[in-house]
Amino acid sequence: MLRKLGHHWQVQTRREFFTQAGSGLAGIALGSMLAQDGLLGAAKKDPMEPKPAHHQPKAKSVIWLFMEGGPSHVDLFDRKPVLEKLNGQPMPESFGRPITAMGTAGNTLMASRRKWEQHGRSGLWISDWYPHIAQHADDLAVIRSSKADGLNHVGSVCQMNTGDILAGRPSMGAWVTYGLGSGNRNLPTFVILLDDREPVGGPKNWSSGFMPAAFQGTQFRTGDTPILHLKNPGGVGAAQQRSKLDFLKELNERWGVDKQDDTELDARIRAYELAYQMQSAGPEAVDLGKETDATRKMYGLDDSETEAFGRNCLMARRLVERGVRFVELYCGSGSGWDAHNNIEGNHGKWCRVSDKPIAGLLADLKARGLLRDTLVVWGGEFGRTPFNEKGDGRDHNPWGFTIWMAGAGIQAGQAIGATDEIGLRAVERPYHVHDIHATILHLLGLDHVRLTYLHNGRAERPTINGGQLIKELLA
């Protein structure tokens, strides 16, 4: 027999006691689960809420200069005197014959035609294709021993962005957004800037993967209007716009009350709110007309050949200046640097497009004191082979290539690691894409092992099962 006395239950047998106690514990557990799922009316956690770093960061923001298509390290930052001596000869068997994307491993070796000089106090070798960047040699840490896994562009661009050659994982910018939250609630945290085309693989390269959609990158348009519809339609005031968005949010939340796993709906709701906030902050942030003529000229905006990428570089500076955490700029979208033939014409073009704007970005960040806490990363998805393709081009080379970093208190003015004597494979202190990602996250204050997201019962992390810090970079 069970009788209620006040707020307590009176039980007369041992079995009644355990039955009632078990039901109560089940109710507590159910209530907790419902609250976590947002079904008890609890406020939904804001995914963009700023979060503490794992350790003291050196960088507040990242500007990733992605040279899509695979720039040739042996023609830009990795001088190879032995390759010059062996020009036109078959590759010695001692170097091994790799399986290449286009089956060119049996072709003869091809020396660089560029002129090389040592620059700055550091004496870094940089070719004459990058004369403006060469003036900043002492600000660069050149990693000559990078390596990746993919042979083709789609998989390799995907891996450089997400850590895997297969699509479906979150991009680096998404991991940073997830780990640190927003740095400016009036602007996106993760921004993509393209040139005239979309990169191979498209938006999967800035996707949030298996994480909530709120962490994905926001693509800005090219040209004078990078963000559309910043102004209200004629006759619509701020109060009316606010009321309309509040009503739309209410309808979306009602519809989604039983759809807690629909992260795209939540992302759409938050996107509407961000769009409203951007109507006040966005126009000023993207208005390059506020820059001086001297600044615009420094980025190459006065030259039709450098204007488009220069505009994106200047936009990147303005965005990190305003708290945007991760800005990725593509140069040569659609595999523009993919020089299977006529590397002189191909790389000559893209180096002219990118040299002055990148040098202008480094100079501008430094002059404004922003380079101290902004990490600038340059590179492509892989490098190019030391042997020729079609006589005057180069094949894909993921076994050894160059990226460089600047800013964020890194140990600059140095070359890290090395490829072999012809530039085919990383042989001295090789660093995988996962190591590059781990180091970028570390500079932002995030431990790549501790930064995890539970997916399908597994604690996923940005570097999957790999990743070590490039300690020579860290001051």
Question: Which of the residue ranges 21-35, 173-187, 350-364, 388-402 would you say has the lowest mean pLDDT?
Answer: 21-35
Beta-ladder partners of 125: 118
Residue 236 belongs to a domain = no
Instruction: Tell me the average pLDDT across 139-144.
Output: 98
Give 42-96 as a DSSP string.
Answer: PPPP-TTS----SS--S-SEEEEEEETT---GGGTT---HHHHHTTTSPPPGGG-
Domains held by the chain: number: 1
Question: Which of the residue ranges 21-25, 207-211, 218-222, 448-452 would you say has the lowest mean pLDDT?
Answer: 21-25
Confidence band for 236, pLDDT divided at 50, 70 and 90: low
Question: Is the pLDDT confidence value at 169 over 60?
Answer: yes
Beta-ladder partners of 67: 331
What whole-number distance in Å separates Cα of residue 131 and Cα of residue 75?
Answer: 13
- What range defines the domain where residue 194 resides? 61-226+286-473
What's the token pair of residue 17? Answer: 């006691």
Report the b/e string of 398-412 with b at 16+ CB within 10 A.
bbbbbbbbbbbbbeb
Distance of alpha carbon 323 from the chain centroid: 16
Sign for the CA dihedral angle at 319, 320, 324, 329 comes to positive
What whole-number distance in Å separates Cα of residue 79 and Cα of residue 55?
Answer: 37
Q: What pLDDT digit, counting tens, does each position of 308-345 carry?
A: 999 999 999 999 999 999 999 999 999 999 999 999 99
Amino acid at the residue 179:
G
Residue 174 belongs to a domain = yes
The residue among 283 and 160 whose pLDDT is bigger is 160
pLDDT of amino acid 280 = 57
Instruction: Tell me the average pLDDT across 83-91.
Output: 98
pLDDT of amino acid 283 = 77
Confidence band for 368, pLDDT divided at 50, 70 and 90: very high
Residue bearing tokens 């040299």: 355
Question: Is the pLDDT confidence value at 448 over 80?
Answer: yes
pLDDT of amino acid 26 = 47
What's the token pair of residue 359? Answer: 């040098």
Q: Say which CATH number the domain at 368 has.
A: 3.40.720
Residue 436 belongs to a domain = yes
What's the token pair of residue 171? Answer: 């991009």
pTM score, whole prediction: 0.84
Beta-ladder partners of 2: 11
Question: Is the pLDDT confidence value at 385 over 80?
Answer: yes
Measured CA distances, 225 to 220, 288, 315 (Å): 9, 10, 12
Beta-ladder partners of 378: 65, 404
What whole-number distance in Å separates Cα of residue 211 and Cα of residue 215?
Answer: 7
Confirm if 409 and 58 have CB atoms less than 8 A apart.
Answer: yes
Instruction: Tell the burial category of 138 from Cβ atoms under 10 Å away from its Cβ (0-12, 13-18, 19+).
Output: middle
pLDDT of amino acid 222 = 76
Residue 17 belongs to a domain = no
Residue 231 belongs to a domain = no
pLDDT of amino acid 43 = 53
Confidence band for 25, pLDDT divided at 50, 70 and 90: very low
Confidence band for 30, pLDDT divided at 50, 70 and 90: very low
Residue 191 belongs to a domain = yes
Confirm if 323 and 277 have CB atoms less than 8 A apart.
Answer: no
Residue 327 belongs to a domain = yes
